[in-house]
Each structure stands twice: as structure tokens, then as C-alpha cells.
Amino acid sequence: MERSNVINLAAGPSQLPLAVLEQAAAGILNYEGTGIGLVELSHRSKEFSQLTTSLEQEIRTFLDVPPTHVILFTQGGGCGQFSSVVYNLLARHHLLYPDLRPEERVMDYVITGSWSKKAAEEARKLGGGVVNIVADGREHSPTGKAFSSVPPHESWKISPAPAFVYYCENETVDGVQFSPDPQSPSSFPFHLLPQPTGSTAPVPLVADYSSSFLSRPIHNLADHALIYAGAQKNVGPAGLTILIVRKDLLVDTEAAAKLGAAPTPTTLSYKVLADAGSLYHTPPMFSMYVALLVVRYFRDRGGLATLEEANKTKQAKVYDAVERGTSSGIFKGKVKKESRSWMNVTFSIEDAELEKRFIADAESKGIKGVKGHRSVGGIRLSLYNAVTEEQIDRVVAFLDEFIANARSR
């Protein structure tokens, strides 16, 4: 099957613009006229140092990142940050409040899906403090077991003075996302965060943006202490993790360890990474190169405002088709309307044989990666930045055709 006939709706790694792939392929053979391929280039070379600087500058401009935050590049994916967050944020807490006992160090987690759940589990495993579940979306679902919405704000129980508050902006597996509308009941309730007093520092807000990074503006970006994202959804190939870190989180983890904090592995320390300009050791060079090409590609086509409008249109078209399937008794939506993800559309087909036919029919038409995550099943259509509106129209046509054929059987 020719590439032009394929629509890749996989949840990640995911589709990238063809022009970017072609440029990256050329760079593998000869990067910027050096006669050396990018994957052969020293990460200490002036050429790669310039690439790192350019990527940082492009992302800063694209998202309007304030000078209070540094942008870092590392490895380990989102799951690696589950541990890094705990090590670095508890180290900071020890430096600020050295006399507290472990049970007085509280880590607040908002659970809206599989990935925030895993992050909280990792925090419990690492210890050094107590995990408080601020809210759990399952408690507000029809079954009490599935994630179908952002928990209502009145159910949130944020600790009075936690070491940090953690949330996942878009849950890739479950298709739950915080609303960009501040007035929505599914928005993130910034007003509930504890306010600093004369004796307390601001509570750090940590967000996993892995599957929505660069898809639309980050609401209240400056109010976040840390935003991280794996690149393999909207930015580039797997292997790169992008961090936006407020400078007060760049703490001396070795000094914190002397005060009783768990020793932070050197390569997980945000300060070590920042002091080395993201080059403490060999970074994911190829992933960073492709990420730079991707950001420039979308910058030259209108930037974040254009992406936001396109993504808003794409998800609306697909959800409208899913609702037509739901009203016909073929599909069943999984997520409440106000909490639906723009990136990952999830639904189920109650008839198991019909679901198998859906996946096979999609594959035959070049629509790939539609099967839901193995932990929840069903169907998942991922609408990342590189999926075009023209491709979405083809997907919608397929959905409508499938619904019509299923009704006639």
C-alpha cells in the first residue's frame, strides 16, 4: 500500500508530516552540509549545540514560555518523569522544610485516567512522602470503574500544603481531557490551588502534556512549575522528553539528600540537566532533530493558533460521526461530552464481531491504528497534529459508511 493511501491514527508513535520525514531522511545522510549524518554527529559538536539551542528557542516562541522557566531535553519518556517528579520535587520540599517527617510530606495526584493512575502508583512505590488522591474520575463514572470525565471540582480534596499537585492534561488511553474553557466544569480548577503565605512557598503544579503538547495553547502555562511531554505524539519520534521547568525547581538534590531526601539519580536531576544545557550525556539526537523540523513545519503554517483551530475542527467532525453511530445503536461513547479529548477519540462497539469487522474494514481502507488500548479495548482514533483535515474527512466517510452497512445487516 502506498503511503499516500494510509491514514495513521495510532496513539503513538504517530503520523508525522511527509515533508518532515523527507528532510529528516536527507539529514541522516548529510546534516547541514557537514558531510556527516545527524546520527553520526558528535553531541559536543557546534552543529548539534546549535540544534539544541534552536529547538529550545522554537518551542519557547511557539508556546510563549516565560523567562521564569527553562526548557530541557531528556530521555525516559513520560513514565521516566513519574520518578523524576518525585525525586526532584521532594528534594525541593526537604530543602524548604527540612524538619518535616515523611508522613507530613504529601504528594497530591488528580486521577483522570490510566497514566495519572500509574504516576500515583510510582510515587507510592518510591516513598518519601504520602500520596493523596485529590479526586478520582472513576468515582463519577456510571460503572464506578471506568474513566469517563474530569472529576467535578466540588469533589477535589487538595492538601493544605502539598509538596506538589500533579495532573495529566490528556489521558491517551481513556480519551479524557481537561477543557480549555476556564468556565467549563471540566477545566482545571486553578482557583483551588493553595495560595502561598508568609511562611510557605508556592505549591508546584506539575502536568503531563505528553499527548496534547503543541496541539493548542497551554492554559496558565506560567502557573505551572513543571510541564513535561513525550515527543512521540505531536512532536517527533519516540525517545525525546521535553521539560518546561520553573527555575525554582532546579535544586541541589545532593544537598537535599543530606537532609534526608532520597538520593536522586544524577541523570534524573533537573538541575544537573539544566546546568549541562541538556547535554550532560548523549541526548536523543535524532528525535531532537525531527522535533525541530516538526516545530518549524507548523510554525511556517500558522503556528499554534492555526493548529488549535484545525484540531478543534477535526475532533468536532469525528465526534459528530461517533454520535451518529451512537444514535444508530452501533457505537457507544466512553467519555462525557465536556471531558472529551481532542487528540484521542474513544468509543466501543458492543457487538464483538462487529468490532472486529470495524478494525478489519478500517485496515482495508488504509486507516490504521484504530484498536483501543489493550487495557480498555474498544476503538481509539488519535487525531494528532499531522493528521490532516482531508484525512479526517476520509475517516468520517468511513465511519458513516460503516454505520450504514451495520444498520442494514
Per-residue pLDDT of 304-315, as tens digits, reads 999 999 999 999
Confidence of residue 1 (pLDDT cuts 50, 70, 90): confident
Average pLDDT over residues 323-342: 97
- Judged by DSSP in three states, 252 sits in coil
Dist. CA 189–CA 152, nearest whole Å? 10
* pLDDT classification of 201: cutoffs 50, 70, 90: confident
User: Can 248 be counted among the known catalytic residues?
Assistant: no
Is the confidence at residue 198, as pLDDT, over 90? no
Grid cell listed for 390: 482531508
Contact 63, 214 (CB under 8 A): yes
**Is the predicted pLDDT of residue 264 greater than 90, yes or no?**
yes
Kindly indicate the confidence band of residue 74, based on its pLDDT and cuts at 50, 70 and 90. Answer: very high
Q: Which three cell numbers stand for residue 90?
A: 521532594
Q: What are the residues whose beta carbons fall under 8 Å from the beta carbon of 272, sequence distance 6 or more?
A: 253, 266, 280
Catalytic residue among 108, 136, 174, 208: 208
SS percent in the chain: helix, strand, coil, step 5 = 45, 15, 40
Q: For 376-404, write each residue's pLDDT tens digit.
A: 999 999 999 999 999 999 999 999 999 99
Q: Rg of the chain over CA atoms, in angstroms?
A: 22
Model-level pTM? 0.96
CA 123 – CA 108 distance, rounded (Å): 10
What three-state secondary structure class fits 120? helix
- Are 96 and 54 in contact by the 8 Å Cβ rule? The answer is no
Residue 202 vs residue 269, higher pLDDT: 269
pLDDT at position 64 over 70: yes
Active site residue 46: no
pLDDT band at 199 (very low <50, low <70, confident <90, very high): low
pLDDT tens string 108-127: 999 999 999 999 999 999 99
Of 108, 115, 117, 136, the catalytic one is 115
Our answer to whether residue 208 is catalytic in this structure is yes
Q: Which of 117, 136, 174, 233 is catalytic?
A: 233
**Is the CB of residue 216 less than 8 Å from the CB of residue 311?**
yes
What is the DSSP track for 169-236? Answer: SEETTTTEE--S-TTSTTS--GGGSPPP-TT-PPPPEEEE-TTTTTTS--TTGGG-SEEEEESTTTTS
Res. 228 pLDDT band, cuts 50 70 90 = very high
Q: Which of the 8 DSSP states describes residue 64?
A: T
Q: Once rounded to an integer, what is the mean pLDDT over residues 169-182?
A: 97
Report the percentage of the chain scoring pLDDT > 70: 100
Q: Residues 204, 193: contact at Cβ < 8 Å?
A: no
- Residue 329 makes CB contacts below 8 A (sequence gap 6+) with none
Q: Cell numbers at residue 72, please?
A: 530541557
- What are the pLDDT digits (tens) for 355-383? 999 999 999 999 999 999 999 999 999 99
* Contact of 83 with 144, CB cutoff 8 Å: no
User: For residue 144, what are the CA distances in angstroms to 139, 148, 163, 173, 277?
Assistant: 5, 10, 29, 17, 45
What are the tens digits of pLDDT across the range 2-17?
A: 888 899 999 999 999 9
pLDDT of residue 239: 95
113 to each of 88, 126, 137, 155, 304, how far by Cα in Å? 24, 21, 7, 16, 26
Could you report the per-residue pLDDT of 43-58, keeping only the tens digit for each? 999 999 999 999 999 9
**H or E stretch including 280?**
none
Q: Is 364 exposed, middle or buried (CB count within 10 Å of its CB: 0-12, 13-18, 19+)?
A: exposed
Mean pLDDT across the chain, nearest whole number? 96
Look-up of cell digits 520540599:
93
